[in-house]
Structure 1
Amino acid sequence: MLLIDSPSHNAYFNIASEEYLLKQFPTEDLFLLYVNAPSIIVGKFQNTLAEINLDYVNEHHIKVVRRMSGGGTVYHDLGNLNFSFHTLLGQHDFMDFSIFTEPVLKILNRLGVPAILQGRNDLLVDGKKFSGNAKLARHGKMIQHGTILLNSEMEILGEALKVNPLKYVDKAIKSTRSRVTNLIDYLPKDTTTNDLKNLLTQEIIKNNPGAQTYELTKEDLEGIEKLMKEKYETWDWNFGFSPNYNFKKALKIPAGFIEFHLEVVHGIIEKAKIFGDFFASKPIELFEEQLVGQHHELTSLKRLLQSIDLTAFFGKVTEEEILEGFK
């Protein structure tokens, strides 16, 4: 087994590294540890916009990254340690999460933390979740990865994942918001993610006597960064890959009541319908037609709105007021 400690706190880099390592080491067992700066990690089959508080995320410069595995959306920051096991497919029962969560439970139990695996893939203490885990199978290998909330900023976590459930109608997998907790409440107050890294690494070495430390090479770093730029930093992967959905938003502004209805396919607006009691000198259908083919993404829509005389369609409105209808 190769033990890898990521040198980066960039979520784009660390999520990209999982795919890169999967292809780069087709037969070796790997154990990867990483810590991300504030970021939201979305499950592969989720509608990203329906999982995040977009205004809050943009305002606080929180990265949003889609991972390769299914499951729900999670928040990462520097108080959260992430671990990832890569093994050959078929060596273990794919639906059994206990094998690779056991090292986490062992070190915590030794420290007096009454942590347990409950349900299929969650680690809990006193009925509250501190670790969610997910899996994927690809290229003959299996990845199981998980989080460990040590000293995460819970207020930011709550705000970043606070979503209006009435905006989106789709068949995408929705996250179940569990009661979560930080392990720092059960450990010495000076415990750090590095402390957990060291304890977990020692536990893995004890159970895998041939385990060796592996440092990412210059070629590895270049390969990960290439994949990051081509895929994991892109709107197409993080937002456009989302399953098809219907979006609606109602606004009450000085110009009147406006209701926006969108049908979105792979992140692209295919149909748009706008209702309301506003007054327009031009048919609103002309505005709806200009929305078709646009990304359901604020930067693209802002550029479009800047090129249109909005007062002809809505009366006395601002660009910001209309843009709000697409959030």
Structure 2
Amino acid sequence: MKLLDYTHPAPATNLALDESLLLVAEEGTGGEVLRLWELPSYAVVVGSGGSVPIDVNREACAADGVPVLRRASGGGTVLLGPGCLCFSVVLGYTHAPGLGDIPASNRYVLGRVLNALKSVAPAAVEGSSDLTVGGVKFSGNAQQRKRNFFLHHGTLLCGFDLGLVPKYLNPPERQPEYRRDRPHAEFVRNLPAGVAEVKRLLVEAWAPDGEYAPVPLARAEELVADKYARDEWTLRR
């Protein structure tokens, strides 16, 4: 596994880069990677099957210039920005037993993340792939899968402005049972650690053995033009 600590200035290109890392691994020109990134500005990102009209306060986003995007993986709608560390892992199914199964692969990846964070907070997995402390969520996760490799990516709130979540996101269309209809303000929290410390802990836990190169930015820009920047993709639901 290699390390890619890289954030592109364009939010859509960051989403496309995650997918590009999966695609080049599947094609045999890339490989396993841990990517860490943090947007310098805010963006709303809807899951592949999510509903923009239901999940997003589009008027507030438009008024503040917050872009609304759609990713290629599942999961719920999230607000990204400063203080929200994104991590992305591309693994082959042969990396560990059971990774061909979605629940098992979630347990494997999230177990590594929990182990990384054990010195920071007594966290647990709730729902299908949320990380929580005391039943309050600080991390959401999703996957995109191909024949030989899968992408698992997630968010880790580390000093995020939580007051912006209910401003730009409506109550979600689908909720895990443990949420119990709690509003955003009661359902999300920050880890008691900053982005730099959490980055260090993740790198120690995954132990990549070098820097990832070359970065498939040209492939990412193709995906932006073909999909991520198109209303037909973002507003399809």
TM-score by length of 1: 0.62
Quote the residue 1:15 is aligned against.
Answer: 15
Q: State the alpha-carbon separation in 2 of the partners of residues 31 and 70 from structure 1.
A: 19
Cα shift at 1:12 = 0.3
Q: State the alpha-carbon separation in 2 of the partners of residues 33 and 199 from structure 1.
A: 12
4+ runs deviating over 6 angstroms? none
Q: Which has the larger radius of gyration?
A: 1
- DSSP-derived class of the 2:65 partner: coil
Quote the residue 2:211 is aligned against.
Answer: 213
Cα shift at 1:147 = 0.7
Cα 1:216–1:156 shift into 2, 3 Å: farther
Check if 1:102 corresponds to 2:103.
no
Instruction: Decide whether the 8 Å contact of 2:16 with 2:224 is kept in 1.
Output: yes
Cα shift at 1:117 = 1.4
State, as a whole percentage, how many aligned pairs show the same letter: 28
Structure 1: runs of 5 or more not aligned: 166-173, 243-327
Report the structure, 1 or 2, having the larger strand content: 1
Quote the residue 1:24 is aligned against.
Answer: 24
Quote the residue 1:116 is aligned against.
Answer: 124
- DSSP-derived class of the 1:109 partner: coil
Instruction: Decide whether the 8 Å contact of 1:32 with 1:83 is kept in 2.
Output: yes
Quote the residue 1:74 is aligned against.
Answer: 78
Instruction: Decide whether the 8 Å contact of 1:9 with 1:35 is kept in 2.
Output: no
Quote the residue 2:180 is aligned against.
Answer: none
- DSSP-derived class of the 1:182 partner: coil
Q: State the alpha-carbon separation in 2 of the partners of residues 73 and 7 from structure 1.
A: 20
Check if 1:180 corresponds to 2:178.
no
Instruction: Decide whether the 8 Å contact of 1:9 with 1:34 is kept in 2.
Output: no
Q: State the alpha-carbon separation in 1 of the partners of residues 58 and 7 from structure 2.
A: 28
1:228 alignment partner, one of 224, 227, 236: 224
Cα shift at 1:160 = 0.3
Q: State the alpha-carbon separation in 1 of the partners of residues 189 and 9 from structure 2.
A: 22
Q: State the alpha-carbon separation in 2 of the partners of residues 51 and 118 from structure 1.
A: 21
Deviations 1:90-133 (A, max 9, x none): 6513212121112321232123x111112321100121000011
Return 114-123 or 4-13, whichever deviates more.
4-13
Check if 1:195 corresponds to 2:197.
yes
1:25 maps to amino acid = A
Instruction: Decide whether the 8 Å contact of 2:138 with 2:157 is kept in 1.
Output: yes
Deviations 1:22-41 (A, max 9, x none): 22122522211111231111
Structure 2: runs of 5 or more not aligned: 176-182
Deviations 1:131-165 (A, max 9, x none): 011122124321111110111111111110026x9
Q: State the alpha-carbon separation in 2 of the partners of residues 194 and 224 from structure 1.
A: 26
1:224 maps to amino acid = A
- Number of equivalences: 219
TM-score by length of 2: 0.84
Check if 1:34 corresponds to 2:37.
yes
Instruction: Decide whether the 8 Å contact of 1:81 with 1:147 is kept in 2.
Output: yes
